[in-house]
Structure 1
Amino acid sequence: MTAKRTYTRHRAAAALLLLTSAFIAPAQAETLRGALAKAYASNPTLTGARAGQRATDENVPIQKAGGRPGLDLTGSYSESILKPTISFTSPQRTVNAQATLTVPVYSGGTVRNGIKAAKIRVAAGQASLRGTEASIFSQTVAAYMDVIRDMAIVSLNAANVKVLEVNLQATNDRFEVGDVTRTDVAQSQSRLALAQSDYQTAQANLITSRENYIALVGEAPDNLEAPPQLPGLPADPDAAVQVALKDNPDILAAQKQREARGYDVKAARGSVMPTLSAFTQAGYTNYLDSLDNGSAGGGSQINKQAAAGIQISVPLYQGGRPAAQVRQNQALESQAIEQEIEAERSVIAQTRAAYASWQASLQTIDSNQKAVAAADLSLEGVRAENSVGSRTILDILNAEQESLNAKVQLVAARRNAYVAGFSLLAAMGHAEADDLGLESGTLYDPMVNYDRVKGKWFDWDFDPAARPVATRTVDTPAQNANVDAASARQP
């Protein structure tokens, strides 16, 4: 009976550890908002997308350049090595300079429509940038919740190993006094070995989650705090779809791309229209006293000229190129129309699926909470019945395993519910920096760069050399699976 009482006390202590290890809050914690702010500021996918958008902005001044005046200056110096034998007026050396100013007057609509297409593509790019932002945030939320989930699972499995170690010790004690058989000892040993294997797998999963977190956020996860409640979740899938059709950035980007393709068609049609330009030319030639004009007194060694006028060009035949270009852009416009419908279909499917996953996860949480309570009650009852000899060691081992499985499934369900809820907000277009109220200083506004460059006209107005914005992670230490008592928690 002494061995039984020792066994019961060990079981009670180990069970208390198993129940509390995943619920203790950290003293100092990183918040989800803080993690999102770090990803917003330094994630290379996002900072790279911003650089790509700045490149798209430059298409507007590039298109505008086609309708602006052009000024060319050419100069040359020539030295005659061998003068023609039959020429008596050929100069020995010549300095020549010529300036030409050309002002486009009419280009058949090519420039005008090209500018409009470029402006619309800027808007499309800004919508795509919003989509990239929401995607990075969704990945960051998933990585954040993965770390919390896997820390809790590691803690639960560690506690389970300790419980089974106590079980094995108590079973050995009871075997020594003849209270149980060798079979009971073997069953305890087998279950402990399996638990140790599950614990090692959980540790590997935690390391993977931590490294993935570093790849997204740029820093190692440190005592992650439980996330806040998600705001603005819809009451039903139809309401979610209506919001998504209006606010989802992928749909907005596809719409803008389709509009831009329409202007591409108009710009291509301009290639068969006449073009009109005004020009001014001025020239200067100096023969450097090397011109022999056959007269005793010599003649002028300098020639100056200037001219102004207009030039009209009427294309009559270009080998079929204009028609091919128009047809090509019409086909691309048709493709953009289909891509807009494709984006709409995809967003509708994503929104409905995310809503269904969110609802299913909420129901799973409720079911798993009941399962945890029932498994704990069952485990307590089996232990009590074992103490009076009506239950075997295997019954206790099975009950402990069921209790562990229920807790692990509850942790996973809570993670899945939160990630699905955030994915639903992202599909609705409401998971961006403005929506989340990130405390990361001034938020990136793509219009600032666009307003800066859209009217630039100077040929030498370069930007500084490119420098990295995203942070590197090569100096972060390799992650481990250590979980202290202050960090283990459920999502």
Structure 2
Amino acid sequence: MTAKRLSFRRTTATALLLLTSGLANPAMAETLQGALAKAYASNPTLTGARAGQRATDENVPIQKASGRPSVQSQAQFQELVVRPSNSFLAPHRSASASVSIDVPIYQGGAVRDGVKAAKTRVEAGQANLRGTEASIFSQVVGAYMDVIRDSAIVSLNLANINVLNTNLQASNDRFEVGDLTRTDVAQSQSRLALAQSDLQNAQANLIASRENYIALVGEAPDNLEAPPILPGLPETPEAAVQVALADNPDILSAQKAREAARYDVKVAKAGSLPTLSGFTQGSYTDYMDSDIAANKQAAVGATLAIPLYQGGRPAAQVRQRQAQESQAMEQQIEVERGVIAQTRSAFASWQASLNAIESNQKAVDASGLSLEGVRAENSVGSRTILDILDAEQEALRARVQLVTVRRNAYVAGFSLLAAMGHAQADDLGLESGTLYDPTVNYGRVKGKWFDWDYDAAPMPLATRTVDTLPQNANVSPDAAQRP
């Protein structure tokens, strides 16, 4: 890891910590960093990916085992049930034991290159694990912002219904005194019914967002705080792409996969080379109740195997591995293309959302002024009830749109960080505990050689959500102001 990246991570983590602590509410509010920490500890996709990486780690000792001595023993007891007619002296029973030790000396380089391929795939898996972290964190950020957005939209719709109820009551009162017609009352009733339908849809969306949050984080969202400002975002798409090409874990994983495929070709070529191994064997046979003396035997030697013809299998295997290496080369370019497109698209979405925030804020301000003006003009008879209803609807749409683009801007900004390779756990300063380090397990198992050195039986690490309560659409009074 470069010093530049380490410096960036420290800056990012520090900024997130300060911003999160500055926004924290002492009344047990949930912060974005807290949600990310919970997902980091208990999300099943992430914990499963870690288990998968531990399985990949074991390929290194498995490959090393091919170059280590092997010891075989055998014991046999024989009871002679029918004695041969031409051998009346054959013993009734016998017991024998044998031990053999085989020591591979030269395997054509297959063991060496197989170990190198396994080590390279471990590095590729570690990069994939970083990518999985970034993917889960991006989903959590999206779910977190969805809950905030949908809570605000529900709150705005509730406020709109309160206004429309007041309008309807006022319309009925004015109709009773002959100031308005039945048409004016019907228009108010129609808008109120539509607003109630919009509220029900907004509440359903909020429930879905909360349930999705539970699926990702493992706990129900409770009093979510406004998220901190995202630090380290680039000024240009070119700068973003340069960082992504250097730090994106998917690119690193593809590079390592290509390197491992090159070692696989060398392993296949070893199939047509001579192999040399040494051996030692010993056996002991006891004829038990017979007068025949026990038989002892011991031998040492070496075996040289020179393949002359194998039906074309080695060449086919080499060509197969070469084609797979070619595939890995193309996949590396494919991944690089995808990362570049993802980074540029995320930058464009982020910039567009920032511009949309400014435009929609102006629309909210303008629609608010317009609504006040229409109400004032209605009081002097120059505007109708329908004009007021239209102005109120326009003001609601503007505020809902502002809430939506704020959510989109934040999610796009985090997606940009993820595309750049700066959205993993050590980038975000998750201080909930010791971060998972995949190199620890690799260091633990890479040199193991004992045949009975098992780990403890696995237990699930992810938390279940079956006991969480079904979510509702209740919102706090200030939900509309929090985005």
Amino acid aligned to 2:393: Q
Equivalent position of 1:80 in the other structure: 80
Runs of 4+ off more than 3 Å:
25-28, 486-490
CA distance in 2, matches of 1:430, 1:489: 30
Residues 1:380 and 1:488: Cα distance change in structure 2 (over 3 Å): closer
Q: CA deviation at 1:463?
A: 0.3
Equivalent position of 2:47 in the other structure: 47
Equivalent position of 1:212 in the other structure: 212
1:156-167 to 2 correspondences below 5 Å: 156-167=156-167
CA distance in 2, matches of 1:299, 1:68: 39
Equivalent pairs counted in the alignment come to 459
Work out whether residues 113 and 264 of structure 1, in 8 Å CA contact, stay in contact via their aligned partners in 2: yes
Q: CA deviation at 1:76?
A: 0.4
Q: CA deviation at 1:487?
A: 4.5
Q: CA deviation at 1:489?
A: 3.6
CA distance in 1, matches of 2:75, 2:332: 53
Amino acid aligned to 2:276: L
Amino acid aligned to 1:150: D
RMSD across aligned positions (CA): 1.0
Work out whether residues 145 and 419 of structure 1, in 8 Å CA contact, stay in contact via their aligned partners in 2: yes
DSSP-derived class of the 2:453 partner: coil
CA distance in 2, matches of 1:89, 1:241: 87
Question: Bigger CA drift: 348-357 or 480-489?
Answer: 480-489
Is 1:135 aligned with 2:135? yes
Amino acid aligned to 1:385: E
Equivalent position of 1:412 in the other structure: 404
Unaligned 5+ residue runs, structure 1? Answer: 1-24, 291-297
Equivalent position of 2:369 in the other structure: 377
Work out whether residues 155 and 479 of structure 2, in 8 Å CA contact, stay in contact via their aligned partners in 1: no
Q: TM-score, normalised by structure 1?
A: 0.92
CA distance in 1, matches of 2:27, 2:283: 81
- CA deviations on 1:156-206 (whole Å, 9 max, x unpaired) are 000101110110000000000000101000000000000000000000000
Q: CA deviation at 1:490?
A: 3.5
Equivalent position of 1:7 in the other structure: none
Equivalent position of 1:111 in the other structure: 111
CA distance in 1, matches of 2:202, 2:292: 99
CA distance in 2, matches of 1:85, 1:323: 54
Equivalent position of 1:247 in the other structure: 247
Equivalent position of 1:327 in the other structure: 319
CA distance in 1, matches of 2:384, 2:155: 27
CA distance in 1, matches of 2:136, 2:29: 22
Equivalent position of 2:415 in the other structure: 423
- CA deviations on 1:52-94 (whole Å, 9 max, x unpaired) are 0000000000000000000000010011110110124422111
Work out whether residues 26 and 225 of structure 1, in 8 Å CA contact, stay in contact via their aligned partners in 2: no
Work out whether residues 223 and 487 of structure 1, in 8 Å CA contact, stay in contact via their aligned partners in 2: no
DSSP-derived class of the 1:463 partner: coil
Question: Bigger CA drift: 318-327 or 93-102?
Answer: 318-327
CA distance in 2, matches of 1:91, 1:109: 49
Equivalent position of 2:451 in the other structure: 459
CA distance in 2, matches of 1:75, 1:334: 50
1:167-316 to 2 correspondences below 5 Å: 167-290=167-290, 298-300=291-293, 302-316=294-308
CA distance in 1, matches of 2:98, 2:478: 80
Q: CA deviation at 1:439?
A: 1.5
CA distance in 2, matches of 1:71, 1:484: 71
CA distance in 1, matches of 2:445, 2:394: 64
Work out whether residues 265 and 321 of structure 2, in 8 Å CA contact, stay in contact via their aligned partners in 1: yes
CA distance in 1, matches of 2:89, 2:415: 84
- CA deviations on 1:102-129 (whole Å, 9 max, x unpaired) are 1110000110000000000000000000
Equivalent position of 1:61 in the other structure: 61
1:379-398 to 2 correspondences below 5 Å: 379-398=371-390
Equivalent position of 1:338 in the other structure: 330
Residues 1:330 and 1:68: Cα distance change in structure 2 (over 3 Å): same
Unaligned 5+ residue runs, structure 2? Answer: 1-24
CA distance in 2, matches of 1:27, 1:226: 14
CA distance in 2, matches of 1:490, 1:344: 38
- CA deviations on 1:235-286 (whole Å, 9 max, x unpaired) are 0000000000000000000000000000000000001111101111010000
Work out whether residues 354 and 423 of structure 1, in 8 Å CA contact, stay in contact via their aligned partners in 2: yes
CA distance in 2, matches of 1:70, 1:274: 20
Equivalent position of 1:18 in the other structure: none
Q: TM-score, normalised by structure 2?
A: 0.94
CA distance in 2, matches of 1:143, 1:433: 18
The share of aligned pairs that are identical, in percent, is 75
Amino acid aligned to 1:202: A
Q: CA deviation at 1:26?
A: 9.4
CA distance in 2, matches of 1:490, 1:432: 26
